[in-house]
């Protein structure tokens, strides 16, 4: 009887525990129901802005300096990715060189709100800042594409560019990256500095100004007219890009020779936005756009770095030529005077030139692989 009482008591305790577990499960289910209901309600609340944005998205018109063939690589993937990631809250309409306004008018058009954003270098679109001469190809300021982001991030160019554009009303400078190197592609061969004399080339203003001391004649034309101008003899070539771009956009089809001596390793290209347009973009989409800029810069570095080498070795459309080292060394030496002349144009320009000089010393002392003797 004693054992039976003990057994009965144990069974009763087990039943009580099972009942407690059932109650606990019921309470959990009730609470879970409340949480689930709240989650549904919360998701409903947060979905409203998305629905609203889909029917009333922020819309931008953006123009790039590049023509459509190049733009298919250097900006179109970025803008398409941004539009997808913006999830209906913002849409950017992309336009290529000269489609809405002439490239030389890009800055003013953005400043007055005709367009909302621009991808270009400072010099090509004639930015009204005292450091615009450094945008695009500043002769021998860089050797490799990685030099550009390093100069901006670690040597102070970010702060200088920001300071310069902060003085200009209506425009936001959003950041810079490394684009392609500068080579000269022509109908007739260049095998000495003297061969440049009288050659009419489409080119970036700063490099053109420097090379004009050797008789090269810089010419400005709409981007889409360049290929025909070379075919008709209006132009003798281009001093605008590297091998990758020359092959991609068709200029390698109309030029016969490619000069291996490059004037600089990479140019400074930037993104800009109209201040009012930028202010209307919420912080999360501003951040998203800047991330897409970084993605585009990264793509370009890899595309150019691989493309330049591959096309020099495997490209069959142009014959490679070289100016002898003793002549080219003098051209590099001449750039020092050009740098000093530019440094005299403003205190801020002097700061940039000094940064280039300091950076060059560091890279030369570092040696391989940063610089080769």
Residues contacting residue 303 through CB under 8 Å, at least 6 positions apart: 73, 244
DSSP letters along 258-311, please?
EEEEEEES--EEEEEEEHHHHHTS-HHHHHHHHHHHHHHHHHHHHHHHHHHHHH
Which residues does residue 117 pair with via DSSP β-bridges, in sequence order? 62, 273
Q: Mean pLDDT of residues grouped by 10 in the chain (373 residues)? A: 48 52 47 43 40 74 95 96 97 97 95 97 94 93 95 98 98 96 97 97 90 95 94 96 96 98 94 98 98 96 95 97 97 96 97 97 94 74
CATH class (in words) of the domain with range 57-178+268-303: alpha beta
Q: List, edge to edge, every strand of the sheet that includes 90-95.
A: 90-95, 58-64, 117-120, 268-274, 171-178
Computed over its alpha carbons, how large is the radius of gyration of the chain? Answer: 30
- Stated pTM of the model: 0.83
Query: Apex CA 54: angle with CA 51 and CA 60, to 5°?
Result: 145
Question: Under CATH, which number does the domain 182-267+317-366 receive?
Answer: 3.40.190.170
SS3 content of the chain, % helix, strand, coil (to 5): 55, 15, 25
Residues 259/318, Cβ–Cβ less than 8 Å: no
Q: At what angle do helices 147-154 and 347-366 cross, to 10 degrees?
A: 120
Residues 261/323, Cβ–Cβ less than 8 Å: yes
Confidence at residue 53, expressed as pLDDT on a 0 to 100 scale: 53
Residues 247/315, Cβ–Cβ less than 8 Å: yes
Residues of the chain with CATH 3.40.190.170: 57-178+268-303, 182-267+317-366
Cα→Cα distances 171→1, 113, 231, 279, 286, Å: 95, 9, 38, 11, 15
200-203/257-264 β-pairing:
unpaired
Confidence at residue 154, expressed as pLDDT on a 0 to 100 scale: 97
Cα→Cα distances 100→66, 75, 96, 110, 329, Å: 13, 16, 8, 11, 42
């Amino acid at each position: 009887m004693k054992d039976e009482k003990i057994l009965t008591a144990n069974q009763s305790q087990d039943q009580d525990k099972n009942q407690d577990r059932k109650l606990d499960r019921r309470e959990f289910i009730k609470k879970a129901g409340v949480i689930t209901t709240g989650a549904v309600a919360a998701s409903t609340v947060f979905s409203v802005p998305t629905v609203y944005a889909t029917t009333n998205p922020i819309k931008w018109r953006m123009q790039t300096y590049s023509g459509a063939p190049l733009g298919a690589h250097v900006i179109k993937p970025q803008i398409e990715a941004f539009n997808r990631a913006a999830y209906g809250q913002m849409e950017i309409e992309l336009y290529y060189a000269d489609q809405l306004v002439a490239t030389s008018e890009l800055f003013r058009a953005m400043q007055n709100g005709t367009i909302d954003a621009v991808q270009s270098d400072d010099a090509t679109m004639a930015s009204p800042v005292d450091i615009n001469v450094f945008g695009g190809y500043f002769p021998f300021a860089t050797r490799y594409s990685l030099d550009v982001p390093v100069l901006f991030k670690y040597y102070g160019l970010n702060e200088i560019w920001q300071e310069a554009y902060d003085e200009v009303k209506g425009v936001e400078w959003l950041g810079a990256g490394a684009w392609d190197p500068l080579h000269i592609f022509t109908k007739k061969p260049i095998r000495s500095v003297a061969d440049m004399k009288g050659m009419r080339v489409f080119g970036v203003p700063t490099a053109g100004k420097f090379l004009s001391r050797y008789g090269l004649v810089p010419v400005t034309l709409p981007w889409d007219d360049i290929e025909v101008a070379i075919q008709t003899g209006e132009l003798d070539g281009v001093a605008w890009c590297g091998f990758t771009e020359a092959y991609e956009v068709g200029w390698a089809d109309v030029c016969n020779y490619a000069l291996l001596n490059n004037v600089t390793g990479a140019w400074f290209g930037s993104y800009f936005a109209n201040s009012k347009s930028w202010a209307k973009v919420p912080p999360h989409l501003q951040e998203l756009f800047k991330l897409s800029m970084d993605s585009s810069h990264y793509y370009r570095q890899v595309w150019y770095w691989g493309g330049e080498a591959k096309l020099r070795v495997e490209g069959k459309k142009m014959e490679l030529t070289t100016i002898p080292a003793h002549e080219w060394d003098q051209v590099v030496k001449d750039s020092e005077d050009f740098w000093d002349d530019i440094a005299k144009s403003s205190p801020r320009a002097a700061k940039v030139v000094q940064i280039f000089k300091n950076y060059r010393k560091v890279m030369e002392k570092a040696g391989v692989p940063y610089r080769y003797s």
